[in-house]
Amino acid sequence: MAELAYVNGTLSAIESARVPIEDRGYQFGDAVYEFIASYNGTLFCLEEHLDRLERSLRGLDFSPIPRDGIRKAILMLFEKASISRAGIYIQISRGAAPRNHLFPKSTSPQVVMTIREVEEKPAELRKNGAAAITVEDFRWGRCDLKTVQLLPNVLAKQKAIDAGAFDAIFISEGIVREATSSNFSIVSGGGIITHPLNQNILPGITRMVIIDLCKELKIPVHERFFNTEELFRADEAFLTGTVTEVLPIVQVDRRRIGEGRVGPVTQRLYEALRERAGA
């Protein structure tokens, strides 16, 4: 078992991996990324992550990159590392070129990856739920593309940690969007309410799986806008994400959500997700 890096076809220890100083991902945030996790030695939703990666690349007007080549590189790295519960980070930049805002006329994309063991969320959070704060959404206008332009997310996450919370939830003119690295949903009247897919939130893979599981479990799902008033009246609330999985939020801005403990719908969805993933 080894944590490894992949840089344009070359494997190495993560500490020794290097990319050019004029990489456009470093200088302009001109790059997209994905994060894929495995359970018991099997990558979960690999093709769905590749679908989203391709969508992000198209959204930034990247030249086409063969999907099969990216898939083979991921699987090769996964096999070499031999980590049962792995997290693979994939980043593709437009390439390295002399610094210029204009797209370079001829350059090759930089494909870098790392693989590490997934750092599981503390069992206490799963058992007791987590707290969050709300922050004004000051991100760029294409949150549906998974780019490396994450400074607003970083600042919001740090603000949450400094306030003694687990995460921050972005709010725009009273509308609840999502958290810093996870989608956000509430439970009201036994059904799920989650922000509709548009340019203001990321089309989460785990979000997609949860909606599908809700169909199997006969849990109503409403993809619509909801505001902070509905949030504070909700019975339950939870985050969804590749590593977050389904994480209960029991307090927002120091106000209790529902009964202030992990609710039955959230717990049921967490168990169903783990079962679907083969955990």
Please report which residue ranges of the chain form alpha helices under DSSP H. Answer: 24-28, 46-59, 67-81, 123-128, 151-162, 205-217, 228-233, 264-277
Please pick, among 72, 80, 127, 146, the residue that the annotation labels catalytic: 146
Contact 276/209 with Cβ under 8 angstroms? Answer: yes
Closest CA to 11 of 111, 87, 117: 111
Report in angstroms the alpha-carbon separations of 43 from 35, 68, 113.
Answer: 11, 16, 15
Cβ pair 89, 176 in contact under 8 A: no
pLDDT cut 90: percent of the chain above it: 97
∠ at Cα 18 (16, 20), nearest 5°? 165
- Sheet of 110-117: strand order equals 10-13, 4-7, 110-117, 86-93, 31-39, 42-43
Distance of CA 172 to the CA centre of its chain: 20
Q: pLDDT value at position 106?
A: 85
1 pLDDT more than 80: no
With a CB cutoff of 8 Å and minimum separation 6, the contacts of 173 are: none
121 is catalytic: no
Is the pLDDT confidence value at 60 over 80? yes
Residue 263, pLDDT above cutoff 90: yes
Band (241; pLDDT cuts 50, 70, 90): very high
pLDDT of residue 146: 98
Alpha-carbon distance of 177 to 169, in angstroms, equals 7
* CA torsion angle 204 159 261 240 (round to 10): 10
Q: Kindly report, residue by residue over 202-236, the tens digit of the pLDDT.
A: 999 999 999 999 999 999 999 999 999 999 999 99
Average pLDDT over residues 108-125: 95
Domains of the chain listed by start with CATH number: 4-117 (3.30.470.10), 123-277 (3.20.10.10)
| pLDDT tens-digit map of 14-47 | 999 999 999 999 999 999 999 999 999 999 999 9
Residue 279: pLDDT above 90? no
Q: Calculate mean pLDDT across residues 66-94.
A: 97
Q: How many residues does the chain have?
A: 279
pLDDT digits (tens, 9 = 90+) for 83-105: 999 999 999 999 999 999 999 98
Separation CA 240–CA 65 (nearest Å): 29
CA Rg, the chain, in Å?
19
